[in-house]
Amino acid sequence: MAQQLGTAQSATSFLGRMLNWRRQQLIVAFLFVLPAMINFATFRYIPIVQAFIASMYDYSLLGGFGDFVGGQNYMRMFTDPVFWRSMQATVLFVLYKVPLQIVLALGLAMLLARQSIGTAIVRSAILTPMVTSIIIVSIIWAMMYHSQQGLLQSLLVTLGFQKIAFLSDTGRALPAVAAMMIWKDIGFSFIIFVAGLKGIPEMYYEAGIVDGANRWQLFRHITLPLLRPIMMFVIVTQTIFSFQVFVPVYQMTQGGPLDSTKVIVYYIYQMGFRFQDMGYASAMSIVTLVLLLMVSWLQMRFLRMDD
């Protein structure tokens, strides 16, 4: 009986030590995560809450909080034609940029995934725009797009074509900005796809070749399914980044011509900082956040549909 009691006490003591060790590990892990949690709370979540509160007031940076208006700022969006035009411009920008960027990045990744002569130089050329200042890139591309003396105009004339008004035409300005952003951001998608392709075991391709599969069948039945998580990450992140585009529009077009490039973030900036209507700008920010969350959720649900 005493032996059984001693065994039970030893087991209890061992369990207690294990729980204490487990608790210590959790505390250490929490301390490592704590700086990131403080960063997110300070610069993400608290500003979101404050923006929601500001959207309920007649608020400006110079005058501070005015009268409580409730949901009037949100109702105002339904009758604001500029808001709907800016949303339309934002959606068009995403549709111009994200699909083409992903296709080009995936194609380049498959072409340059394996090390060969010259691939390091080409990879560096693809990744260089990603680390270049966006404001500098916007200035340079605006000079290239110049309707009279731009580099692209000179190339068109040399090839026998007429000059094209890129940034001053309502139908070409937004695609022109999207083309610049594809060139700027393609390196991010490229490097993610390269990492994903290197993670696919070579034996899958060898088995497919033994079964008589051609390159298209290998790509369709092996590469694409195994790249689905990577594809989801790239699509979601690039959609979010594209919805937040601001600097190129601010530098290159100022939302023109005729509001054709006035994306939602630029319109929020105008209302909040130029027209001092921060309450309405905050309301549009909250609506944009909710829309982004819905779009991201739908994308992840669709890309995980076959899992």
Per-residue pLDDT of the chain (307 residues; tens, 9 = 90+): 445 545 555 555 655 565 577 777 888 788 888 888 888 888 888 888 998 999 999 888 888 888 888 889 999 998 999 999 999 999 999 999 999 999 999 999 988 877 777 778 888 888 888 888 999 999 999 999 988 888 888 888 888 888 888 898 888 999 999 999 999 999 999 999 998 888 888 888 888 888 888 888 888 888 888 898 899 999 999 999 999 999 999 999 998 888 899 999 999 999 999 998 999 999 999 999 999 999 999 988 887 755 4
- Largest interatomic CA distance in the chain: 102
Instruction: Classify 297 as helix, strand or coil.
Output: helix
Asked if residue 139 lies in contact with residue 248, where contact means CB atoms within 8 angstroms, the answer is no
pTM of the model: 0.86
> CB 295: neighbour CB atoms within 10 A?
16
168 closest CA partner among 246, 258, 82: 258
3 state SS of 59: strand
Task: Classify residue 303 as exposed, middle or buried by CB count within 10 Å of its CB (0-12, 13-18, 19+).
Answer: middle
For residue 291, what pLDDT is reported?
Answer: 93
